[in-house]
Structure 1
Amino acid sequence: MRADRLVSLVLLLRRHGRLSATALARELEVSTRTVLRDIEALSAAGVPVYAERGRHGGFALLPGFQTELTGLNHDEALALVVAGSRRGAQAFGLGGALASAMRKVVDALPEGYRTSAAGAVQRLLIDPGTDLLARRVVPEEVPDSVVAEIRRAVFAGHRLRIRYAAANQPPEWRTVDPIGLVTVREQGYLLATREGADRTYRLSRVLAAEELDEPAQRPDHVDLDQAWQERSTRFREGGDQVSVLVRVHPARREDLVGTALGVRSEVTDPDGWSRLDVTFQDSRHAVWAMWQLATSAEVLAPDWLRAALHDRAAEIAARYATST
């Protein structure tokens, strides 16, 4: 790991010319003390790195220094495979590996391409942390050590012990046969089987993981996209789902469809509003989704959902009936 970090440090200096110890520590996700030790190690190994003091000082390489240390390790190569979605790399615990791999890729480019690529990066912003309404995108937090253990078991084809906290249940250890990893809308999932039955585990609910030596009971080849679609279909068709008949303004139709599990039927009323029969995961999901639409939608059935929305609106109205 330290060798990879030293290579990354050299590449950062080659790319930026001069960086402070604080900036290097931030890029490498280590302490400034570690950066200073690494600088000393590079100097001892003959790498011409020197310090410039002053307000705009920092560490730099002697002009003209070249290095061929651009080989990718396993995790960095894997990170590039999922680099089409930076958030996918984050969900699988590969964010640091992706940053390191991209530094090596940029360094390996011809000088002309490297310059144009650096300029292009300044013109692109992918998946910012907030949307236009300043709503934060909060990805699920999963310890890197847990995700790394799960990844190893998935790729090695070994069985896996996980301490899993299912919704509204105490955590418990389970032994599963891992099949693959999926990331959807900032959430990571482990597809596996347990005692022959299909299981889907949310990575953020895995509190601990341990790769076992015994081989996983799973097919040699898998169509992960098909497996995900099949499990999604079973999820939508099972559980305590509720059906809701609702009228919605055309401007908010996509918001409704985006939060529902599925649309069973749809017609357009003479006034342009859409009348849809949609399904939600449970009653709580239905109340939450319809409340977000405010007066842009009206629940026609069931009556209990109309009553729930009425009661919530009455509570809000009563709260703001008088000034404080």
Structure 2
Amino acid sequence: MRADRLVSLVLLLRRHGRLSAATLARELEVSTRTVLRDIDALSAAGVPVYAERGRHGGFALLPGFRTELTGLNHDEALALLVAGSRRGAQAFGLGSALASAMRKVVDALPESYRVTAAGAAQRLLIDPQTDLLSRRQPAEEVPDDVVTEVRRAVFAGHKLRIRYAAVDQAAKWRTVDPIGLVTVGGQGYLLATRSGADRTYRLSRVLAAEELDEPAQRPDRVDLDRAWQERSTRFRTSGDQVTVLVRVDPARQADLVATALSVRVEETEEADADGRLRLETTFQDPRHAEWALWQLATSAEVLAPQWLRDSLRGRAAAMVTCYEASS
């Protein structure tokens, strides 16, 4: 890993000309002390790197210096394959490998292409962390050692032992046969089987992982897209589903459709007198139903079941009490 870091350090200096130790440390995700040790190692190996003193000083390479050390390692090549989304690379623990690989790609380009590519890259932003409403996109942090161990087991075809914390349950160890990794909206998932049954694990809930030597029981080839679609369908059609009859403002109908599992327009000859539509909606479970209808505030009214009306009324009453007390 240090060899890759030294190459990345050289490529950074070649691309930017002169960089401070602090900037290099930030780019390489190491300490400034590590950067200084790496600079000494490069000098000892004959790489013409020198220090410039002063306020705008830093480290630089002698003009004209080139190196052919641009080969991609395994993780860097893998990072490029999933680089359609930087957040996807981050979800699989390949963020730093992606940054290193892109430096090598840029360095390998002819000079004229390098300038053009750098300029074009500044004009594109893919998958930002916030949208136009300044809402931060959900992204989950997974410890590098955990995701690395999971990734190794997936690629090697070995059984995997994970300590997993399911929702509202204490964490416990389980041994699974890993099939593949999926990222959706910055969230990573492990597709696996356990005792022959399909299982899907959220990577952010894997507290520890250990690759085992025993071969995993799984097919040689897999269609991950199809597997994900099948599991998604089963997820939507399982559990404690809730059917809700609701009156909704037509202007918010799309919002309701976007979050419900299914929506059916009640067969009536006309809308209610106030123009609202009556819809029969299905949600994954009671918590999902309550959350979705609460987001619509007064744009929707639950007609049934009664327990959901009572729950939303209790929430609203608690909100009123809170603001009355503060005033």
> Which SS does the other structure have where 2:128 is aligned?
coil
What CA distance in whole angstroms lies between the structure 1 residues aligned with 2:34 and 2:45?
17
> Which SS does the other structure have where 2:324 is aligned?
coil
Q: Name the TM-score, length of structure 2 as normaliser.
A: 0.93
1:75-86 superposed matches below 5 A? 75-86=75-86
- Displacement of 1:47 in angstroms is 0.9
1:39-78 superposed matches below 5 A? 39-78=39-78
User: Deviation digits for residues 182-226 of structure 1, max 9, x if unmatched?
Assistant: 111221111111111111111111111111111111111111111
Correspondence 1:175 to 2:175: yes
* Equivalent position of 2:157 in the other structure: 157
* Equivalent position of 1:136 in the other structure: 136
What CA distance in whole angstroms lies between the structure 1 residues aligned with 2:105 and 2:250?
46
- Displacement of 1:138 in angstroms is 4.0
Which of 306, 309, 313 does residue 306 from structure 1 map onto? Answer: 309
> Which SS does the other structure have where 2:228 is aligned?
helix
Amino acid at match of 2:115: T
What CA distance in whole angstroms lies between the structure 1 residues aligned with 2:15 and 2:108?
11
Amino acid at match of 1:42: L
Do the aligned residues in 1 keep the contact of 2:25 with 2:32 (CA within 8 Å)?
yes
Amino acid at match of 1:280: F
Correspondence 1:101 to 2:101: yes
What CA distance in whole angstroms lies between the structure 2 residues aligned with 1:78 and 1:135?
30
* Equivalent position of 1:265 in the other structure: 264
User: Deviation digits for residues 241-280 of structure 1, max 9, x if unmatched?
Assistant: 11122333344333323322x1142369647655433222
Residues 55/267 of structure 1: CA separation in 2 closer, same or farther (3 Å cut)? farther
Q: Which structure 2 segments of 5+ residues have no match?
A: none
* Equivalent position of 1:295 in the other structure: 298
What CA distance in whole angstroms lies between the structure 2 residues aligned with 1:205 and 1:322?
38
1:1-324 superposed matches below 5 A? 1-260=1-260, 262-266=261-265, 270=271, 274-321=277-324, 324=327
Q: Name the TM-score, length of structure 1 as normaliser.
A: 0.94
Do the aligned residues in 1 keep the contact of 2:266 with 2:280 (CA within 8 Å)?
no
Do the aligned residues in 2 keep the contact of 1:247 with 1:276 (CA within 8 Å)?
yes
Residues 322/140 of structure 1: CA separation in 2 closer, same or farther (3 Å cut)? closer
What CA distance in whole angstroms lies between the structure 2 residues aligned with 1:234 and 1:90?
27
Q: Alignment identity in percent?
A: 80
What CA distance in whole angstroms lies between the structure 2 residues aligned with 1:290 and 1:276?
12
User: Deviation digits for residues 145-196 of structure 1, max 9, x if unmatched?
Assistant: 1111111111111111111111111111111111011111221111111111
- Displacement of 1:131 in angstroms is 2.3
What CA distance in whole angstroms lies between the structure 2 residues aligned with 1:274 and 1:149?
51
What CA distance in whole angstroms lies between the structure 1 residues aligned with 2:138 and 2:227?
27
